[in-house]
Amino acid sequence: MRGGAGMSPHRPGKWTLLGVIFGLGVVLDQVTKFLAVERLTVAFQRVGAHSLPERLHAFLTLRYLEPVATQPYYVFRPFWRMLYAENPNAAFGFMAFLPGGLRYRLFLVISALAVVFVIYYYRRLRAGQRFLQVALAFLLAGTVGNLVDRLIRHYVIDFIDWYWWNRPDIRWPTFNLADSMLVVGIAMLLVHPSPRSAGAPADSRSAGNKRGAPGV
């Protein structure tokens, strides 16, 4: 077979895969946040933004829109609704105790370090390590998606709200698509077996075969 078993001439390279997942992830994250402002607030109506360019300009320039948020939209009333929220903190209110200016600068440093770490680790991956490539691509897209919000607004737009069965007072912290990509990426890294543990059974079998060889 030309190219060897398991090789495909049409299989994208790891950097192409990163570019596609990262690009789509960041674009979808920002599009869903635009839709959250459009559908879950009356901000565009207040400033008379009717055309798409006007709405995009308003999306990038308007700030602190929670006072003009509409009522939540219920996707499935028992546990899922959409509502507009602005989060200046990290997930679960992390670092909320810090002053706003210090917290903002710290988030920028942490995000930059995360991006550097992902790129550095990604460069070390082999072409066949698709699972890890996808995991790191999700991490990069999620990190940059929220970083764009912080650079533009100093807070992150959240809109997905999950809660216990008909109990909005018992709820998961409101999140967005970038948060989801971060969680998926981290979960994939956690469940992925390390090369050592994945190769242990094969090594054991090889050792056993070697020990049994003289007796054959």
Joined together, the tokens standing for residue 159 give: 């809109």
Specify if 52 maps to a domain.
yes
**Residue for token digits 């056993």?**
208
Joined together, the tokens standing for residue 110 give: 């942490």
Count Cα atoms within 13 angstroms, Cβ side, for 69: 17
Specify if 215 maps to a domain.
no
Kindly report the number of other CB atoms within 10 A of residue 33's CB atom.
Answer: 24
What tens digit of pLDDT does each residue of 8-38 get? 567 889 999 999 999 999 999 999 999 999 9
Specify if 7 maps to a domain.
no
Strand order in the sheet with 73-76: 73-76, 80-87, 156-164, 167-171
Structural domain including 107 reads 14-192
Specify if 100 maps to a domain.
yes
Task: Identify the pLDDT of residue 98.
Answer: 74
Specify if 79 maps to a domain.
yes
List of E strands, the chain: 73-76, 80-87, 156-164, 167-171
**What single-letter amino acid sits at 18?**
L
What tens digit of pLDDT does each residue of 69-96 get? 999 999 999 999 999 999 998 765 666 6
Kindly report the number of other CB atoms within 10 A of residue 95's CB atom.
Answer: 15
Instruction: Find the catalytic residue in 158, 161, 169, 203.
Output: 158
Specify if 131 maps to a domain.
yes
Q: Assess whether 158 carries a catalytic annotation.
A: yes
pTM of the model: 0.83
User: What is the Cα–Cα distance from 174 to 159, expressed in whole angstroms?
Assistant: 6
Count of structural domains within the chain: 1
Instruction: Find the catalytic residue in 29, 149, 161, 179.
Output: 179
What tens digit of pLDDT does each residue of 126-153 get? 999 999 999 999 999 999 999 999 999 9
The backbone torsions φ and ψ at residue 42, rounded to the nearest 5 degrees and listed phi first, read -110, 25
